A and B are shown apart, each in its own frame.
Chain A
């Protein structure tokens, strides 16, 4: 036991097991990771939670500070994705991925934050603080988080109306989200957009679109502009399995392939286009193949590491060879929107089944615990922290004022030319557009 402890002190690694017992090298799926040493874990956690501090405890407590919940350890950890990639017209990337404790814990935190945010939005909608449309992303967090990890802020992202988490991944704040949802001034669109119209131009996030499928040609246009400007960056245009049948998608893909645009079309296949299952809407639901001449990759969208790997691969591919399609096999726990219970066209068993077997956050939690990158308590603490952050942001958003009446007339044009605009009663309400 003492030998283990000293080895642990010396290695500075968040790893309770001696190297011989647990390997940091390639994991085969046939060798499940060994379970953490319970005695040592218990011993350390007791030290951690103890309020007594004696000279005996000091070295340990300082050692414990090396194992913070958000680990800054960037030592590479090599893992395999849950399933291999399936490729169309290209060679699939390897399922071996490089990650680190830091990255995995960041993934966990980010996804937990998104999950909590969406659940909170559900309650706010039911409390009638959010109006109109509200399309929630819980279940699909791995796509937003994994994609962002593969990109830089020079790369562009455009998506449809299920955009809250993508906005967050691009650097948006919780206050901007909740204030926008509640139609307040501090919202990312100053309350004028709403749930479906989040934008963050300084992070190259172009929304947020209400018209199904329209975002795909727009995304190809962003890619065109990146190529035109010689920016050496790519655009990820996200769409759902429902939008995958839109004609304009194929029109845009055709042009992108002809002009070699650095466009990546990402189909977030959550298997239901509103209430219509994919097999009822698409003659060929193999969305990654629908690009025909364009290569495609099918990815387990619930595995954040697979998403990251696929997006890294796609970015490299698109910069050299033009458009590529990524199909993310994912799932949404909520219905299409808050008006849809989500249980009339799919069984509750199916929903709970996915939650139990494939939940992206649970997958990372298991990975973190099995590799001893954090304890269960530390992860629970992260979730508590995240919950508090969300609650605080909601409280702040609730206090935030609604837009000034004059905002009705702002931003109609970028250059208003001093033109007049009118309210409902034009003899009562007129404004000059700046």
Chain B
């Protein structure tokens, strides 16, 4: 397992990696880098190796090596009994995976994108999420549903929706949104080991991105706690809370804001359910200003929940109304210029942060 990781890292380090010099400040032993794709692959590999009950199921996960190559090499290593190619029947194979989890196995189900999970959503919600409660603890469901979520590039309305808010509504589910390679490894390993159903929302555009990674993260026992957000960048003037790809945008926005004397604190939520309300509130109590950022549709979204929880718990600390940056309230268009308008850009986050700091007219 470690061997594959090292091999992949050697491959990566020979290529030019994205500069992000300021980010290196946060990683002490930042000599190695790893793509998110490799991080996910290595996490799956290690967990399958450690526990024979873990198996993979999904479209093209086996012989095709994964639609996005996340499961590359795993069929060869673990065989067709543990890496199962399914027909294009989400409702059927998701139900089968949940049934296997009822019996005590640990399935990792891949949705080619989470848009297709809607065909199986009854099994995720009614068969998986609620079973432990309805059975008063008799039937627990140790399953992971993973796959790319949210906007990609030019894939149009039916292939671009973010489902974080939908799944995070439901008690009984855990919903995770990794950003970088450390998140990808640590959260996926934690998700597979967790006895509850976990919805693991990746991002297609992040798969190829490389991030520095420490030795600790490379260890096969490395796990991140579920339900804890991470302060990616400490600051004191405004809190920017984001998940997945928007964390990267928020960090870029923070660099720009720094030049204008605004020191932004960027929170990588990592976990949408459970939501780390205490980290968010602690941060807002320090900075007194909040911007939430998400790629998803704005109404009833993650930003709305964060705003509500901050208003409920830290109202007296707010010096400005909460600002909310989200995807446009329209189905995703195809034309590149319209698509650019439909998802948040770095300048949107900068503008919102300035508004929150009363540096621009609201």
Contact = CB atoms under 8 A, between A and B. Distances in A.
Interface of A: 156, 158, 189-193, 197, 199-201, 206-211, 214, 216-226, 228-229, 247-248, 250-252, 254-256, 258-259, 410-415, 417, 419-421, 426-427
B208 interface: no
Nearest to B55: A228
B312 A427 contact: yes
A158 B92 CA distance: 16
Contacts of A220: 92, 95-96, 99
B139 A228 contact: no
B79 to A, nearest CB: 12
A221 to B, nearest CB: 2
Contact of A251 (B93, B126, B132, B277): B93
Given A214-B127, A413-B172, A421-B171, A224 B100 contact: yes
Interface in B100-154: 100-105, 122-123, 126-127, 131-140, 142
Nearest to B277: A420
Contacts of A207: 131, 134-135, 139
A201 B86 contact: no
A218 B102 contact: yes
A383 B137 CA distance: 35
Contact of A192 (B91, B133, B174): B133
B195 A217 contact: no
Nearest to B225: A417
B288 interface: no
A192 B136 contact: yes
B362 interface: no
A193 B225 CA distance: 30
Most chain B beta carbons < 10 A, residue from A251, A252, A256: A251
Interface in B142-190: 142, 171-172, 174
Contacts of A210: 126
A221 B103 contact: yes
A247 B103 CA distance: 23
Contacts of A208: 134-135
A316 B72 CA distance: 38
Contacts of B86: 255
Contacts of A209: 127
Contacts of A258: 87
Contacts of A427: 312
Most chain B beta carbons < 10 A, residue from A210, A258, A417: A417
27 contacts: A189-B138, A193-B136, A197-B134, A201-B139, A207-B131, A207-B139, A211-B126, A217-B98, A220-B92, A220-B96, A221-B97, A222-B100, A225-B100, A229-B103, A248-B92, A248-B95, A251-B92, A251-B95, A252-B92, A255-B93, A258-B87, A259-B84, A410-B136, A413-B195, A415-B194, A419-B274, A426-B312
B227 interface: yes
B99 A224 contact: yes
A13 B89 CA distance: 57
B260 interface: no
B10 to A, nearest CB: 35
Contacts of B95: 214, 216-218, 220-221, 248, 251-252
Nearest to A200: B138
Contacts of B103: 156, 221-222, 225-226, 229
A156 B103 CA distance: 9
Contacts of B265: none
Interface string B11-52: 000000000000000000000000000000000000000000
A411 B131 CA distance: 9
B84 to A, nearest CB: 8
A403 B131 CA distance: 18
Given A220-B96, A221-B97, A221-B101, A412 B172 contact: yes
Contact of A221 (B96, B136, B312): B96
B108 to A, nearest CB: 14
A207 B105 CA distance: 18
Most chain B beta carbons < 10 A, residue from A197, A254, A413, A421: A413
A56 to B, nearest CB: 57
The 3 A-B residue pairs with the shortest CB-CB distance in the complex, in nearest-first order: A221-B99, A217-B95, A251-B92
A217 B89 CA distance: 11
Contacts of B294: none
Nearest to B135: A199
B134 A222 contact: no
Contact of B89 (A156, A211, A254, A426): A254
Contact of B135 (A156, A197, A218): A197
Contacts of B215: none
A174 B137 CA distance: 20
Contact of B87 (A251, A419, A420): A251
B94 interface: yes
Contacts of B97: 221
Contacts of A192: 133-134, 136
B232 to A, nearest CB: 22
Contact of A222 (B93, B102, B142, B196): B102
B196 A228 contact: no
